A and B are shown apart, each in its own frame.
Chain A
């Protein structure tokens, strides 16, 4: 079934009728869009943590998402607080740390200015191993091995230049970046299986 047909079916099924009201993808104006996405306007959102199991007994992947409004005045200090708790609660040993990707949430609009939607920088599409959408990813992945490395994470952005740099990203869809809403830091850490699990696996084999 094509994506278009899938979208049209929404509202026909029982669950679709319920969710269709909330899942409005497009808005006639930016103001209307922002009215429905109040949480994206919060200066800072609570840290969100996810664990993914990698393969069979191969360890796990920790993913933390830190989201800040572009209006936030002291992102560096907030990052320090979050990374301190991440280091306290997730890092054992001094030789490892976190990999950080920077991406954005943005409002996209048609060239005619009659339709607007939110584009999320956090991307779960199959085949995208990095987790950040390639359209709005910022720079290279950063490695935070110690707390001192948090000082090297980018916190100030020239959004006008960014919008200019990403103007071709959505060219095939006929939309462009209207404004940036959030700066999103995706924090990853691979946690290998514990020694006990490795031993158990060796015995099993």
Chain B
């Protein structure tokens, strides 16, 4: 079952930010309660304090926040200090509520007929099971990841429950919360991929191994053969943060299909499409600057605590592997690869 949350244009609508706040509220709480709880973490005064000295109407702090910060009287107006379009704010809200928030965008600009108000598992199943290959590709192109920090969960054992959302691009934008896991990850189009293979790190048994997936994406062979000692399975993207990198460099240098070996390999995780612009028009590739990749590792032959700076090994021909949607690995296309290398060189 899917919950239809907001329609920006209709009279009963609220803005995306307030709709998001409403959607994470539980146990009879409202979006404003969540917003107040969010602000409370940085408030230094007592909840019941009367601000008669500051405000001639003698309002309490809660009333002031409701009237002036949350702007409760104008539902379509964005609240202050919190925005749907800020990755920080969404992540802080997630950690406050113990949720891992994942947002997809769906480009309904040229979609014949608006999306229905209930997008359940059956809808997506039939949506992506059309026999017409061209139509299927078109539909898949419409779906993309907007906010996804699942790869940056260090402690996978204690991972928070997921909250999946879909936001449409055509004004008036709609926000949906998926109440069941529709597994849309396998349908998202990675704009940033080089058009080659996208490897699913989840094997037939359901176990995730990112190291094998990286191995496969670097070689032209279907099943890479490695003659060295086996290494531990890497079940999470954050495992790359602690791996023995010189060893990994030797391994990947053997596998890399090209003649010349790069000075280093970079592993990044896709996190976010930045700003509001990607929501406006999705049928053009967003510029490199609008992508937020987090560098997980710069894998070079010599790196470590006392070694040279890893950025010294980065060159324009560096290969960049990207982990996205918590289970897929691909190589970045040239524009994004150069963008990642340039950001490390400029930093």
Contact = CB atoms under 8 A, between A and B. Distances in A.
A88 B295 contact: no
Given A77-B242, A154-B305, A84 B152 contact: yes
B27 interface: no
Interface in B299-347: 303-305, 310, 340, 343-344, 346-347
A146 interface: yes
A82 to B, nearest CB: 9
A149 B245 CA distance: 13
B254 interface: no
B85 to A, nearest CB: 11
A74 to B, nearest CB: 10
A148 interface: yes
A80 B241 CA distance: 8
Q: Give the interface residue-count category, chain A.
A: 20 to 34
Contact of B152 (A87, A90, A92): A87
B292 A94 contact: yes
B91 A89 contact: yes
Nearest to B346: A95
B298 interface: yes
B84 interface: no
Nearest to A150: B241
Interface in A138-157: 145-152, 154
Given A80-B242, A151-B242, A92 B294 contact: no
Given A80-B242, A146-B294, A85 B95 contact: yes
B291 to A, nearest CB: 9
Contacts of A149: 310
B293 interface: yes
A51 interface: yes
B103 interface: no
Contacts of B154: 77, 80-81, 84
User: Interface SS of chain B: helix, strand, loop or mixed?
Assistant: mixed
A88 B292 CA distance: 11
A198 to B, nearest CB: 17
Contacts of B88: 88-92
Contacts of A150: 241
Interface string A43-83: 00000000100000000000000000000000011001100
B347 A151 contact: no
A146 B298 CA distance: 10
Interface in B11-57: 42
Interface string B78-95: 000000001110011001
B296 interface: yes
Interface string A92-132: 11111100000000000000000000000000000000000
A92 to B, nearest CB: 6
Nearest to B272: A92
Interface in B144-176: 149, 152-155
Contact of B295 (A85, A96, A147, A152): A147
B245 to A, nearest CB: 8
A54 B2 CA distance: 45
A158 to B, nearest CB: 14
A61 to B, nearest CB: 14
Contact of B347 (A77, A92, A97): A97
Contact of B305 (A85, A92, A95, A151): A151
A151 B304 contact: yes
Given A89-B88, A90-B88, A146 B42 contact: no
A95 B242 CA distance: 22
A34 to B, nearest CB: 31
Contacts of B274: 92-93
A96 to B, nearest CB: 8
Contacts of A145: 344, 347
B295 A146 contact: yes
B66 interface: no
Contacts of A148: 241, 295-298, 310
A93 to B, nearest CB: 7
Contacts of B340: 94
Given A81-B154, A146-B294, A151 B95 contact: no
Interface in A31-45: none
Interface in A148-199: 148-152, 154
Interface of B: 42, 86-88, 91-92, 95, 149, 152-155, 238, 241-242, 274, 292-298, 303-305, 310, 340, 343-344, 346-347
Given A93-B274, A146-B295, A146-B344, 12 more contacts: A80-B238, A80-B241, A88-B88, A88-B91, A92-B274, A92-B292, A93-B292, A95-B343, A95-B347, A148-B295, A151-B241, A151-B242
5 contacts: A91-B88, A92-B88, A148-B297, A151-B304, A151-B305
Give me the 5 closest cross-chain CB pairs, A-B, nearest first.
Answer: A146-B295, A145-B347, A88-B91, A81-B154, A94-B343
